[in-house]
Amino acid sequence: MGAQFSQFFPPRPTFTPSDVPLQQGATVYLAGWSETHAEAAIQSIQATTTTPDTTTTGQLYFLPLHLDDLTTTKSTGIAFVTRESRLDLLVNNAGVSQLPLGSVSAQGIELQIATNCLGPFLLTQLLLPFLTAAVTDFSPAPRVIWTSSQVAGLSAPPEGILLSELRYPPRDAVRN
């Protein structure tokens, strides 16, 4: 319950605008299903990101990603590895919930599990060698950050995920 409490009453932030990786010269990929939304976000970020030294301004790129289809998730991983040799930070921040009953992924997996868990897990596995390549004696350790809704902690089934429910989800939207 401590983690849930801190979500309702978060501590004072220590992350400041000078900590924004883009202002440190980072290359940042915004992965998502909508290029239009990603490009709008990129333009908004670029418009609000200022740095006195323009030589350290990073780059923002869109990377197509559909976590509900493992074949396209793999394509995203391949697209990344053709551009980069290392990865310092991966933020898995995808999520869908309360979908219509019977919603499944391209592979026939219950759609919330496919999008919120399996897709990000596959992408992380594909990028793991590039996270490992970022390990040096002179830089911070690479990180993988997973975000989720509070629902994940508050309503997870006490017995854990029943694997049979991945292919045959119950007809209960709350349980799903």
Q: Indicate which CATH number applies to the domain containing 159.
A: 3.40.50.720
Whether residue 10 lies inside any domain: the answer is no
Whether residue 175 lies inside any domain: the answer is no
**What is the average pLDDT across 82-102?**
89
pLDDT in tens, 11-28: 887 766 666 666 677 899
| pTM higher than the cut 0.85 | no
Query: Which two structure tokens, joined as six digits, stand for 24?
Result: 């440190």
**What percent of the chain has a predicted confidence (pLDDT) above 70?**
85
> Cα-flanking dihedrals φ and ψ of residue 6, to 5°?
-70, -20
Whether residue 173 lies inside any domain: the answer is no
Whether residue 3 lies inside any domain: the answer is no
Number of domains in the chain: 1
Question: Greatest CA span in the chain, whole angstroms?
Answer: 57
Whether residue 23 lies inside any domain: the answer is no
Nearest CA-CA partner of 80 in 36, 131, 138, 40: 131
Whether residue 170 lies inside any domain: the answer is no
Whether residue 7 lies inside any domain: the answer is no
pLDDT of residue 127: 95
Q: Which strand (E) or helix (H) includes residue 39?
A: helix 35-48
Whether residue 176 lies inside any domain: the answer is no
Structural domain of 116? 28-46+57-165
pLDDT in tens, 36-67: 999 999 998 888 766 555 555 788 999 999 99
